[in-house]
Chains A and B, each alone.
Chain A
Amino acid sequence: MADHLISRADLSRIEAELDRIRANVGDVHMEVARGNAAVLDKIGGFYDEFAEFVATDRRHKELHLAETRVIKIRQDIESQFGYYGEVRRHAVGILQAVDHRLVRSEVLHQATEEMMMKAPRYWLAPALVALGAWVRDDRPLADRALSEALRRDDYKTSLFFALVLRRLQRQQGANVWLMRYMAHQNPRALDREFVLLLDAVASGAFGPGGRKVVADHVGAWLEDAAGFASDQERRWKQTLIAWRPSMPLDSYPLLRKHSATWDRLEASLASAKGYDKVLQHFQGIFDGEIKLSPHLSVEIDKLLDSLVSNFDDEELPLRSQESMLEYIIEANGDVHTATRKFEAGKTAMETTSTFTEMLTNAAMFPDKTHASRGTQRYALALSRDWIVEAHEQIVAEARAAVPLDIDVEIDGWSCQTRNGSEEDTLLAAQRAYYEQILAAALLAVKLPGFAMLCGVVGGLVALLGLGNTSFVSICIGLACIGYTFYERNKLKSRREAVQQDVNGRAQKAAEILRAVLAEVVDLRRELAADDAVAEHVREFLLDISPEQYTRGHGEDARAVIAG
């Protein structure tokens, strides 16, 4: 077998090609790695865009669904309770017709009888029959209709006739109905329409006798509910805290960076900023005059409209669904935000509540409880002590949490300041700190051991060389000595560099310290100014009294004068 000799030149070519291939593979590998990173980035970007698209699409779908469903809910309300609307319109219509004597008795009789047939379970239908019978002086029919109305809904019927008789200036009768209504109320389970009574007191719908009846009962209920005041105080505390603004992220940048106490300071500032919001909120409610009509009948018609339109519990489930869908539409399909708002106002739509809950609901959610601005003021005035207590607790807790001393740390040096006035003392302490650092740093600047050894050995070698007349030894010795002198000369510049560095740090640290102390002064001033607003809130609230928001009507004064 012949041995094949392979030319070295061929192998070298092969080796070179292999190297080239290896290099190309390496390049490709790097390209692939770069490409992978780019692809991952793109995929990450696509995922974020896709997630946002899905969230937006979901919101749009929820919005569209809510808009469709709310139409259906309103149609259901109309179909199931639409006839109630017809009966309701007749209530005020009958009264206005009686005012102006524009409708014949027979027409009134026929209209009210039709309503009985159209609204079989509705309390207002027999109440209107009783009203029509009374106008026609048909006592037996009035009695039968009244019995039926009271059977269907005792409280609404009583309140209805209290208002109607008041409207028709039948003071004694109105007071009897009102006393009956109030005497039968359970302050721990009031129906929603009770807020209308507060409305009537706030708007002057009741005469002096009626207002006294209400005031006596309300006063007794509040006294009895004193043990449950903490529940309402807790609700008010949650609400007042929720009004706090968030702090801007760029405030007090040096304290943020150099103080471990910053988180507590920031929390204290945020608490104090809330007091102004609280003051503005309540001032906004109590600002401005509420204009009432000079005609008592106009005010009572509004109350009657509200009584017959807004407080029927049969409709409540559908109205509750409608409310939730309206929140979703308002939030542009954001179901979480809508649910949060709905849950916050849900208690205001419960069928019964305690008197204290009702006052808080009327004060916090007047739109949900159908309370007028005047009623909101009256409810706030009655709730005043709970609000003051909640506010005082928030303020006391915030004041207890304000740090008395503020920790500061700059470049490894730490100190405490109370109000930023200790500048001289702290600067002196800081200087002493850097003097210590400088002293220690300068001590560390010395001839390296090797250089010293070179000097000693070089000297010995040079001497030996002189003794032996060895030129080489002398040169080596001199070179070593020369190295030692070179290192020694460098010491001075090294010391100067250390001094410059430490002095630079000290100067910068002193500037930072001055700026931090200035921020402390500003912060304490800001905290004190915001804290002072808490006292204004307290004074404003304590100035409110329920008597200021229960009013008589001009017609009462004219009746007294005429009498």
Chain B
Amino acid sequence: MPKPLNLQNQQAGFQLDLTPASHPSTGVAPAVRLRGPRSQAYRDMIAKLDAGTFATDRTAFEQLMAAIARELPELKPEQLPIGFVSRCHLGEPYEVHIVDLVGNIVQHYMRHEMMPSPFDRARELALHDAYCFIEIYTDNSMGCVRTDGTVTRI
């Protein structure tokens, strides 16, 4: 049988280059973080948002904004959600409610009652059992958050 091929044998005068090639990293784009899973604490907090206006409870509003910033620390303020849409648990005739972070208000809507833009696009999704709430962003995109925390951005 032939001897094993010793590729590092300097006496033979043949050198096999084993230096790895350098390929700089591309870095991770911000969009990836927006799709990352949402924590249980964050989901619980959004689910508990109920009737009332943050205008009357400034502390509650600031706590909410701080919690959102903690959940998405890599994002700039203008990239954070501007509101949420979810199924309303007050029962008939109410169907969905929105949490408008710009207007500092929680508003409930009945069936057939029109919702303001850009929240109106999320109505059908908010009523679907697969999602616990829908995040709304300034660029009119939406983040559909599932009960396991995974997010689909559309």
Contacts and interface: CB of A to CB of B under 8 A. Distances in A.
Interface of A: 134-137, 139-140, 142-143, 146-147, 165, 170, 172-173, 176-177, 179-180, 183-188, 224-230, 389, 392-393, 395-397, 399-405, 416, 418, 535
A78 to B, nearest CB: 35
Given A184-B21, A399-B128, A227 B27 contact: yes
Nearest to A186: B23
Interface in B114-154: 121-125, 127-128, 130, 142, 144, 150, 152-154
Interface of B: 2-5, 7, 12-14, 16-21, 23, 25-29, 31-32, 35, 111-112, 121-125, 127-128, 130, 142, 144, 150, 152-154
A389 B152 contact: yes
Contacts of B18: 176, 179-180, 183
Nearest to A172: B4
A227 B28 contact: yes
A535 B131 CA distance: 12
A230 B12 contact: no
B106 to A, nearest CB: 21
A164 B142 CA distance: 53
A137 B150 CA distance: 60
- Top 4 closest pairs, chain A to chain B, by CB: A183-B20, A143-B14, A392-B152, A227-B29
Given A134-B5, A176-B16, A400-B125, 16 more contacts: A137-B2, A140-B12, A142-B5, A146-B14, A176-B7, A179-B18, A186-B21, A224-B26, A226-B29, A227-B27, A228-B26, A389-B152, A393-B152, A395-B152, A396-B144, A535-B130
A143 B13 contact: yes
B12 A185 contact: no
A172 B8 CA distance: 12
A400 B121 contact: yes
Contacts of A401: 124
Nearest to B112: A405
Contacts of B5: 134, 142, 165, 170, 173
Q: Which among B12, B19, B130 has the highest number of chain A CB atoms within 10 Å?
A: B130
A226 B32 contact: yes
B14 A147 contact: yes
A139 B12 contact: yes
Contacts of B3: 137
A146 B111 CA distance: 77
A180 B2 contact: no
Given A389-B152, A393-B153, A173 B21 contact: no
Contacts of B111: 418
23 contacts: A142-B5, A165-B5, A173-B4, A180-B16, A183-B21, A184-B20, A186-B23, A227-B26, A227-B27, A227-B32, A392-B152, A393-B153, A396-B152, A396-B154, A399-B124, A399-B125, A399-B128, A399-B130, A400-B121, A400-B142, A400-B154, A404-B124, A418-B111
